[in-house]
Structure 1
Amino acid sequence: MITTKLPLAAAKPPVHPLLQPWLTRRVPAVMGVLNVTPDSFSDGGKFLAPDAARAQAAKLIADGADIIDIGAESTRPYGSQPVSAAEEMARLRPVLADVVALGTPVSIDSMKAEVVAFALDTGVAIANDVWGLQRDPAMAEVVASYGVPVIVMHNRDAADPAIDIMADIAMFFDHSLTIAAKAGVRQEQIVLDPGIGFGKTPEQSITVLARLDELQRFGLPLLIGASRKRFIGTVSPSEPQQRLGGSIAAHLLAAQHGAQIIRAHDVAETVQALRVACAIDDAR
């Protein structure tokens, strides 16, 4: 059953006005990925040129994206090259205002507070921090000062197959929420992302998806981004661009177990799958 409702036992905080329409409807919201990078794991370099990035943003919206998530630094676990805040902003500057002008809410995928502030000043509406407010000490203050929603993602510097990954995620989120509260970030601003593929073995990523219900104890919206991730290739050998079927399977099951936002590269197919699954469920 596709559901976007939290269990009655969870204490739900008020919902940020921007998030309200997405978190109260039957079909999860879809966040379209726009990588303005030369080295992202599945589409590095395809949208680095400003014209290509603008065209891709328009396509994602036409395909049904509720949010455009734009990032200018690859955060793939293996082989990505760190870049400076100045380089991130240089990549964003030619395209960001134009993407915002398309009228669909935009999130900035960055772990640097300086870049997030720059993007928010340009009209971006959501902060997406792959280090869950724990890497840049200024991030929580920036989010609090702008009052925008923030996606708090679980991450680790390296995967450790020996750990209980669900316990690690819970401990990480507890720490992130403490940081957020001290900085004045309201609970209504926070979305949690368990970080499929980040600091996890493929088996641990599968475990997170299988036990997603456990994260509902936080009473906060959940985002899942399983799109084209490596764990799919370990189950069914494939290159990133060949993982559409596995991505949709993971996202449908995540929606069934409480994910309210789905982050995907293949927006049209993901939107269709979610809508059809919901229609079938409604007919039961």
Structure 2
Amino acid sequence: MQTYKISINDAKKLFTQLNCDKGGINILSKKAKLHTLYIKQMHVGAANILKQDALSIGADLAVPTGVITAKEKYVDGILLGTTKHFELLARKELAQPFGLKDLAKSLKEYIKENNYKTKIMGVLNANEDSFFKDSRFCSKQASQKIESMIEDGANIIDIGAVSSRPGSLPVEPKVELERLKDIVDTIYENKYYEKVDFSIDSYEPLVIDYVLNKGFKIVNDITGLANDEVCKISASYNAQVVIMHMQNDPKVMQENPEYENIILDLDAYFKNQIQKAKSFGINDIVLDVGIGFGKTLEHNLTLLNDLEHFKHFGYELLIGASRKSMIDMITPSSIEQRLPGTLAIHLESIKNGASIIRCHDVKEHHQAIKVQEAINSIN
């Protein structure tokens, strides 16, 4: 008899290779993946009930000392268990008091499987102050660059005319549109939108309305739908909307950003903005945690490591860490030297749940992602 350790990243494939019973594969898969879920401000009664229910099925709830004697009325906790455990608890807690019914619904959403194909969003900038000069293009160069990006494997091309790098200043909407107009018209006239989806990196209603009328399908809003007019216009065109998180604005966002708990703070933010989007009739939503937008290096690393948490909303997750300064903080490097670090972050993000990768280097990402997919297909 021989034993060796295996990766359980794709349990279903491994169980299939063993020729397990088809009905049992789904059951086994649910037992193979471990989840950790932070629960904030539980009633102490809920904590005690959930602790006992979790232990009874082989899961567990980490709680502060003193919960058993109800020392504090409300406590935080960390629930640990497999997909199967969460599935059982989602049923058990439906009949329990102290807010556990709502928790049961959250658990059900958290373990819902949403498997999206990985897409590459290539970056094309029509401004002179974008932090990476190789992503800047004028209207005359746009056609050649767009065709090149499509050939290199882009699924989406994200076009912007205003820099959002730390310290950057806003631009008048008319100036932004003037920078974009020739490129957008070229896309429309050549029907490039039939070959690839186009996204507008803007939060200005004037700009968004113009491009959506010219074949663009996605609104990439770094303000996360702060402007009601953007909501109205996006809904009228039935556009997909990227809701990104940013603390403050680009001018001051990196001046000592602070969070009580970055995962929970962003979770609450996304919950509110999703509700807002739906109230305007927007249902095609993508979430972006906003790497580098009002975050320290530790904040960014925490978000990347715990990215899977945000899958419970049921929407695609976008990550854009292309050549950002967090790489320089880890290993000193110029913007032009950060492609390896970018690929490392983005490949790890895919493993943790991201399905849209926003990047400057489409060809290199396409190759890296295809190799990653080939490795994973063996499991």
Q: TM-score by structure 1 length?
A: 0.87
How far apart, CA to CA, are the structure 2 residues paired with 1:45 and 1:162?
32
Partner of 2:185: 97
Alpha-carbon spacing, 1:221–1:24, altered in 2? closer, same or farther (3 Å): closer
Alpha-carbon spacing, 1:2–1:114, altered in 2? closer, same or farther (3 Å): farther
Decide whether the 8 Å contact of 1:2 with 1:278 is kept in 2.
Answer: no
Runs of 4+ in structure 1 off by over 3 angstroms are 7-13
How far apart, CA to CA, are the structure 1 residues paired with 2:285 and 2:269?
14
Partner of 2:349: 254
How far apart, CA to CA, are the structure 2 residues paired with 1:162 and 1:259?
23
Decide whether the 8 Å contact of 1:152 with 1:176 is kept in 2.
Answer: yes
Task: Write the letter of the residue equivalent to 2:211.
Answer: A
Measured against aligned partners, the alpha-carbon deviations of 1:76-121 in whole angstroms (never above 9, x if no partner) come to: 122x231111011101111113234223110001011221111101
How far apart, CA to CA, are the structure 2 residues paired with 1:249 and 1:87?
36
How far apart, CA to CA, are the structure 2 residues paired with 1:112 and 1:93?
14
How far the C-alpha of 1:168 sits from its partner, in A, is: 2.0
One of 140, 148, 153 as aligned partner of 1:51:
140
SS at match of 2:295: coil
One of 370, 376, 379 as aligned partner of 1:275:
370
Q: TM-score by structure 2 length?
A: 0.66
Task: Write the letter of the residue equivalent to 2:183.
Answer: V
Q: Which has the higher contact order (CA 8 A, sep 6+)?
A: 1
How far apart, CA to CA, are the structure 1 residues paired with 2:269 and 2:278?
14
Decide whether the 8 Å contact of 2:184 with 2:211 is kept in 1.
Answer: yes
Partner of 2:105: none
How far apart, CA to CA, are the structure 1 residues paired with 2:355 and 2:298?
23
SS at match of 2:355: strand
Measured against aligned partners, the alpha-carbon deviations of 1:233-267 in whole angstroms (never above 9, x if no partner) come to: 10011111211111100111110011111111001
Decide whether the 8 Å contact of 1:12 with 1:219 is kept in 2.
Answer: no
How far the C-alpha of 1:12 sits from its partner, in A, is: 9.8
How large is the RMSD of aligned CA atoms in angstroms? 2.2
How far apart, CA to CA, are the structure 1 residues paired with 2:353 and 2:135?
33
One of 159, 170, 180 as aligned partner of 2:267:
170
How far the C-alpha of 1:176 sits from its partner, in A, is: 0.7
Q: Which has the higher helix share?
A: 2
Measured against aligned partners, the alpha-carbon deviations of 1:177-210 in whole angstroms (never above 9, x if no partner) come to: 1211221212xx1010111111111221111101
Decide whether the 8 Å contact of 1:30 with 1:64 is kept in 2.
Answer: yes
Task: Write the letter of the residue equivalent to 1:10.
Answer: E
Instruction: Return 5+ residue gaps in structure 2 as ranges.
Output: 1-8, 12-82, 88-107
Q: Does 1:151 align with 2:242?
A: yes
Equivalenced residue count is: 266
Decide whether the 8 Å contact of 1:2 with 1:256 is kept in 2.
Answer: no
Residue identity (%): 38
Instruction: Return 5+ residue gaps in structure 1 as ranges.
Output: 16-22
Partner of 1:36: 126
SS at match of 2:239: coil
